[in-house]
Amino acid sequence: MAVEYLRIPKERVGVLIGRGGETKRRIERELGVKLEVDSEGTVRITPSEDNPLSGWVARNVVRAIARGINPEKALKLADESYVLEVIDLSEYLRTPKAITRQKARLIGSRGRTRRYIESTTGVTMSVYGKSVALLGEHEEVAAAREAVIMLIQGKPHSVVYRYLDEKARELKQLRAASLWKRQW
Provide the number of structural domains found in the chain: 2
Residue 45 belongs to domain with CATH number: 3.30.1370.10
> Which of 49, 78, 107 is at the close of a domain?
78
Residue 52: give the domain boundaries.
4-78
User: What mean pLDDT comes out for the span 15-39?
Assistant: 96
How far is the C-alpha of 177 from the C-alpha of 40, rounded, in Å?
Answer: 48
Same domain? 96 vs 166? yes
Query: Which DSSP category does 102 fall into?
Result: H
Q: Are strands 82-88 and 33-37 parallel, antiparallel or unpaired?
A: unpaired
52 and 90 in a single domain? The answer is no
Do 131 and 150 fall within a single domain? yes
8 CB neighbour count, 10 Å cutoff: 19
Residue range 138-153, pLDDT digits in tens: 999 999 999 999 999 9
pLDDT per residue as tens digits for the range 45-95: 999 888 878 999 999 999 999 999 999 999 999 999 999 999 999 999 999
**What does the CA dihedral 101, 106, 111, 112 come to, rounded to 10 degrees?**
120
